[in-house]
Amino acid sequence: MEFTADLTEIIQRTNDVKSFRFNRPAGFDYKAGQFMFVTTTVLGERVRKPFTISSSPTENDHIEFTKKLTGHDYSNALDEMVVGDVIDIDGPHGSLTFEGEYDKIALLSGGIGITPMISICKYCSDVELDTKITLISSNKVQQDIVFGEELDRMERGNRNLKVVHTLTRADEDWQGCRERICDSMIVHEIPDYKEYVFYLCGPPLMIDSMVSILNSMGIPKSQVKQESLVGY
C-alpha cells in the first residue's frame, strides 16, 4: 500500500533516536516486525529509505517508525520535521515477522535493531500470547538503550517476557551484562536455547557474528530469522 501520511507526534527516545508517528490509514495491515519505505524531500530531491515499523499491529490509531539520527542529509531532513508535515509511505514489507507461530522465541538485537523486537514484544503482550520470549538487546552505553522504559513495563506485565540488556562500554555502576552477545550469554540466559527460534536484527557485522555463533551452537538455519539494517 502506498499513501501520504501526516506526522502526528514526534517522540525523542534518546539523545540521537526519535520516533515518528502517523495516523494509521484504513486498510494498512501489517505484521509485527515488518518494515516500510519512507520517502521525504532531501535537499530538493525525493529520497526513500526502509524503516521497521516500531508500533504493533494492535495499535490501531497510529503507525510509528524510529530513526537513529546520523547527522547525514536524509536523517537531518527527518530530524527537522514538525507535526503536520507529510511523508510518503510504501509498505508493509519483510519477513522478520511473528504472529504466534512458535512457542519460544529469542530476539537478539544490536543498537537500533531493537525496532522489530519492540513491535514483536508489544504484539505478543497485547494479544496475551503464551509464547516464551527472551530479548537480548546489545548497546554501547546505558544512554543508548531505546524503549528501555517500555520494555521494563512490558516485562512486568507479561510473565512470558524476559529482557536482558548488555552494554559493551558500560559505566562502572552498570550491574548487567558487559559483553557482546556470545554463546555463553545465550546459554546462561536461555538454558533451553535449542528449543527457540532466533530473530536477529542489527548492523551486518553483528548479524554475521550471531549467525556464526548460533551455527557453532548447533542451531539449524531453519531456526534463525534475520534482518540486516543495510540493503534495499
Ligand X SMILES: Cc1cc2nc3c(=O)[nH]c(=O)nc-3n(C[C@H](O)[C@H](O)[C@H](O)COP(=O)(O)OP(=O)(O)OC[C@H]3O[C@@H](n4cnc5c(N)ncnc54)[C@H](O)[C@@H]3O)c2cc1C
Binding ligand X (rule: CB under 6 A), the pick from 26, 27, 45, 72 is 72
Looking at 62-70, 100-108, 124-132, 163-171, which segment touches ligand X (CB under 6 A)?
Answer: 62-70
Query: Which residue, 39 or 160, has its beta carbon nearer to ligand X?
Result: 39
Our finding on whether 160 is near ligand X (CB under 6 A) is no
Binding ligand X (rule: CB under 6 A), the pick from 48, 49, 162, 180 is 49
Residue type, 219: I
CB of 35 to ligand X, least distance (A): 4
CA atoms of 30 and 21, how far apart (whole Å) = 15
Our finding on whether 231 is near ligand X (CB under 6 A) is yes
3 state DSSP class of 142: helix
What are residue 137's phi and psi, to 5 degrees? -115, 125
Our finding on whether 37 is near ligand X (CB under 6 A) is no
CA atoms of 142 and 29, how far apart (whole Å) = 34
Our finding on whether 51 is near ligand X (CB under 6 A) is yes
Binding ligand X (rule: CB under 6 A), the pick from 35, 123, 147, 198 is 35
Q: Are 203 and 176 in contact (CB under 8 A)?
A: no
Query: Which residue, 190 or 206, has its beta carbon nearer to ligand X?
Result: 206
CB of 207 to ligand X, least distance (A): 11
Question: Residues binding ligand X: what is the number (CB under 6 A)?
Answer: 21
Cis (ω within 30 of 0) for the bond into 92? Answer: yes
3 state DSSP class of 76: helix
CB of 103 to ligand X, least distance (A): 26
Cα separation values, 195 from 41, 62, 84, 143, 185, Å: 46, 35, 47, 33, 16
What is the footprint of ligand X within residues 75-134 (CB under 6 A)? 75, 94, 112, 115
Our finding on whether 70 is near ligand X (CB under 6 A) is yes
Our finding on whether 52 is near ligand X (CB under 6 A) is yes
Our finding on whether 232 is near ligand X (CB under 6 A) is yes
Helices then strands, counting H and E runs in the chain, come out as 5, 11
With a CB cutoff of 8 Å and minimum separation 6, the contacts of 220 are none
Looking at 21-29, 47-55, 129-137, 181-189, which segment touches ligand X (CB under 6 A)?
Answer: 47-55
21-48 residues labelled b (16+ CB within 10 A) or e (exposed): bbebeeebebbbbbbbbbebebeeeeee
User: Which stretches of the chain bind ligand X, using CB under 6 A?
Assistant: 35, 49-52, 65-68, 70, 72, 74-75, 94, 112, 115, 227, 229-232
